Amino acid sequence: MATKAADNRYRRVKYNQTKYGASSSLERLVWDFSFDWDGDGNFDNNEASRVLALSVDRGRTNFIKPRGEGYEPVKTGQCKITLSNHDGRYDGWNSDSPLYPNVTYGKDVRVRVRDMNTGTVHPVFYGVISNIEPTGYGTNREVIITLEDGWRFLREYNARVALQENITLDDAIGMVLDYIGWPARWGRALDISSDTIPHWWASGDKKAGSELEDLVNSFLGYFFIAADGSATYQKRQSVGGSVVDLYQSQLLKDISNPVPWQFHRNVTRFRVHPRLVASTGTVWQFEGDNPSVPVGGSTTLWANYSYLNSPCPAKNVVTPVASTDWTANTSSDGSGTDKTADVSFSFTDFGDTAKLTFTNNSGVVVYIISPKIRGDAVYAPYTTDVTYPADPASVSQPRELFVDLPWQQDINVAINFAEVIGPFMDGLHPFPAVQLEGRPSLQFPPDLFDIITLTSDTLGIGGTSFRVSGIRHESLSSMQAFRTIFTLEPYLSKEGFWTWDTASVFDSSTVFGW
């Protein structure tokens, strides 16, 4: 909670007439800037009384990538807090600071605001310190503390998950988070998904964030870090009521809307990856000079499974059998004395790789002859593209949206995706960005991908629903004066995919689903 000192620091602020309409009331905000300086999991320090300025930037500002190569990813959220440092409280070298020696990166910070008109507390940002920048001199010293949200964590560590069969999307997301040790205190909010993936694994070659993007994009859902720090997945069928209703009279005059052709694509292409299971065969075999094992020592090999010369996972993997899948010999070509009985062996299967360790208990150096691993390879012999229109060659001056769905293995689902999204992308639709000042009851409740409604005569939008894809808050003259920018895009509707705006080729009440 905000301290009394922090509460008394703020005052009511009257706003100027740069909007279509003036604010009808004077707002008052009380801030909570809670730091876990000592890393014990408790927010013991509220630094609100020292905060001079704040900026927050989360989400994405573009619906698709510039060349149409898929959807724009959600960026790592960033928060910059400017604080008074007149007494060196935030100086990492200052041993007289009550925070010493804990002023460093990696500390958890929670930012919340209480709207005193409603009494509601809104989460604004949760992240960890990534940088601390001292500025100024003497009693005018300040410090800028930069926070980054959980996306930084997800984009820092690789994820490995063994082959899973018929796993739901939310369970797969949970396994990625579990593997990298997503902190329980950050939280997770994952929709229960009806989508099932026949074969899925995480090879360990990609960052956790990329694995999650591949999963969610394959089923056209959303994954993001919420304002309270929780890892959040919303399935494409997810819907809720409008969090706020925005009217042109409440907005600043600077309403932006991309040119009609920026997100216009008259060809939509989805790529699916059907996967098959091969009958038991060799998924790995050592090639080249046979590995030696010293007397009394061990040799470890890491096997990478493949089928048809392509990396793959395998199911029903057979632990290599001595004298069948490997032998040990005193000669590197296998022509010497058989020492297989004198070599102990351990094996660990990781789904698409395995660890083999051979320990030599004989009195001579031995060689492991042609070790191999058998199993049922799970492989993608081909990929299939589904397009709208069915014959892209019929389109004059094609502008394509291409979306690779790496974990979508059902061609019929992809066909449904194309039949719905293709006509939408071939139409012209608003993707507005709107700005507000001095209206905390409208500025702070929405989180990423929440639903809002917008009415704007200037844009010809009448009560149309959007998802909030980008949020930027920036303090102005004080911590009582804020400008907020919402970037908006079409939203996912109940039991279906898109609910269209009135300018669409479909009726505004049309709902599509599977």
Smallest CA-to-CA distance from 424 within 416, 432, 433, 413 is with: 416
pTM for this entry: 0.86
The reported pLDDT for the residue numbered 401 is 94
- For the chain, the residue count is 514
| Strands in 305-450 per DSSP E | 306-307, 310-311, 314-318, 327-329, 343-349, 353-360, 366-369, 372-379, 384-388, 400-404, 433-437
Do 201 and 163 touch, CB atoms closer than 8 A? yes
Q: Which long-range contacts (CB under 8 A, 24 or more apart) does 338-341 make?
A: 339/364, 339/366
Q: What integer pLDDT is reported at residue 128 of this predicted model?
A: 98
pLDDT band at 332 (very low <50, low <70, confident <90, very high): very high
Roughly what angle, to the nearest 10 degrees, separates helices 208-217 and 169-180?
A: 180
Separation between Cα atoms, residue 123 and residue 51, nearest integer Å: 17
What does the block give as tokens for 402? 């291409």
Which class for 477: exposed (0-12), middle (13-18), buried (19 or more C-beta within 10 A)? exposed
Give me the mean pLDDT over the 119-130 stretch.
96
Residues 206 and 356: their CA atoms lie apart, in Å, by 23
| pLDDT bracket for residue 138 (50, 70, 90) | confident
Token representation of residue 263: 């997100």
Kind and range of the H or E run holding 222: strand 222-225
Asked if pLDDT for residue 27 goes beyond 80, the answer is: no
Rg of the chain (C-alpha set): 29
Report phi then psi at 199, rounded to 5: -140, 125
Q: What is the dihedral of CA 71, 75, 77, 82, to 10 degrees?
A: -130
Q: Report how far residue 45's alpha carbon sits from residue 451's, in angstroms, rounded to the nearest whole number.
A: 34
How large is the average pLDDT for residues 197-202?
A: 95
- The whole-number pLDDT of residue 323 equals 96
| Each residue's pLDDT tens digit, 357-379 | 999 999 999 999 999 999 999 99
Q: What is the pLDDT of residues 66-113, one digit of tens each?
A: 888 999 999 999 999 999 999 999 999 999 999 999 999 999 999 999
User: Which tokens is 419 given?
Assistant: 């039949």
pLDDT in tens, 208-227: 999 999 999 999 999 999 99
Kind and range of the H or E run holding 417 = helix 411-425
